[in-house]
Amino acid sequence: MSENVPLEKIDDFRWRIPKSYKPGMRVPGLIYADEKLLKDIYQDKALEQVANVAFLPGIVNYSLAMPDIHWGYGFPIGGVAATDIAAGGVVSPGGVGFDINCGVRMVKTNLMFDDIKDKIKDLVYALFSRIPTGVGSKGDIRVSEKEEKEILVKGSKWAVSKGYGVAEDLEYTEDNGAIEGTDPDAVSERAYERGRAQSGTLGSGNHFLEVQVIDQLFDSRLCDEFGLTLGQVALMIHSGSRGLGYQICEDYLKNMVACLQKYNISVPDRQLACAPVNSPEGQTYLSAMRCAANYAWANRQCLMHLARLVFEEVFATSWQKLGMQLIYDVAHNIAKIETYIIDGKEKKLCVHRKGATRSLPPGHPALPSKYKNTGQPVIIPGDMGRNSYLLVGAEKAQETFYSTCHGAGRVKSRTLSTRTTNLNALLKELESKGIIVKASGRETIVEEAPQAYKDVNDVVSIVHNAAIAKRVCRMRPVGVIKG
Q: Which residues are catalytic?
A: 406
Q: Chain-centre distance of CA 218, in angstroms?
A: 23
How far is the CA of 269 from the CAs of 25, 92, 272, in angstroms? Answer: 13, 12, 6
Residue (of 342, 478, 462) closest to 30 by Cα position: 462
CA distance 468 to 464: 6
DSSP for 405-430 reads: E-S--BSS-HHHHHHH--HHHHHHHH
DSSP for 4-31 reads: TS--EEEETTEEEE-GGGSTT-SS-EEE
CA distance 324 to 58: 44
Give residue 148's region: left, alpha or beta (phi > 0; psi -120 to 50): alpha
Rounded to 5 degrees, φ, ψ at 480 are -135, 130
Contacts for 241 with CB less than 8 Å, ≥ 6 apart = 99, 100, 101, 102, 195, 248, 292, 293, 295, 296, 299
Contact 469, 463 (CB under 8 A): yes
DSSP for 150-170 reads: HHHHHTHHHHHHTTSS-HHHH
CA angle 67, 298, 291 (to 5 degrees): 80
- Helix, strand, coil % (nearest 5) of the chain? 40, 25, 35
Q: Chain-centre distance of CA 333, in angstroms?
A: 6
How far is the CA of 141 from the CAs of 44, 201, 365, in angstroms? Answer: 40, 9, 35
Contact 200, 453 (CB under 8 A): no
Q: Chain-centre distance of CA 395, in angstroms?
A: 21
- DSSP-assigned letter for residue 76: P
Contact 17, 11 (CB under 8 A): no
